[in-house]
């Protein structure tokens, strides 16, 4: 995987950040939050966020900024990276 120091923009047809991470807080359309690996109800058929730039977008998502370290070189790498980060930061039960 190549790591470019310049900030990335969202990769078209990816949606990894709308699938891999969990969102613990309730938000518009998902009153119980979102489990890791669960597809967000606002992820469109072309893998874009329907809430992007809207006030209903969860704070978690607004804080998440694409970067080469998070997005990798393709969608598959992004899903794997985010799934690994999710597992590494999961609270102990």
pLDDT tens digit string along 52-61?
989 999 999 9
Contacts of 73 (CB under 8 A, 6+ apart): 1, 2
Task: Tell me the pTM.
Answer: 0.83
- Cβ atoms within 10 Å of 75's Cβ, excluding its own: 17
pLDDT tens digit string along 38-48?
999 999 999 99
pLDDT tens digit string along 5-21?
444 578 899 999 999 99
Percent of the chain residues past pLDDT 90, beyond the cut: 77
Q: Report whether 63 contacts 4 (CB < 8 A).
A: no
Partners of 43 in the β-ladder: 49
Overall residue count recorded for the chain in this entry: 93
Q: Report whether 7 contacts 57 (CB < 8 A).
A: no
State the pLDDT at residue 93: 58
């Amino acid at each position: 995987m190549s790591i470019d120091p310049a900030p990335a923009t969202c990769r078209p047809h990816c949606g990894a950040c709308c699938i891999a991470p969990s969102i613990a807080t309730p938000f518009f359309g998902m009153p119980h939050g979102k489990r890791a690996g669960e597809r967000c109800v606002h992820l469109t058929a072309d893998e874009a966020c329907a809430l992007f730039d809207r006030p209903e977008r969860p704070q978690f998502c607004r804080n998440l900024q694409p970067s080469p370290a998070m997005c990798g070189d393709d969608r598959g790498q992004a899903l794997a990276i985010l799934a690994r980060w999710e597992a590494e930061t999961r609270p102990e039960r």
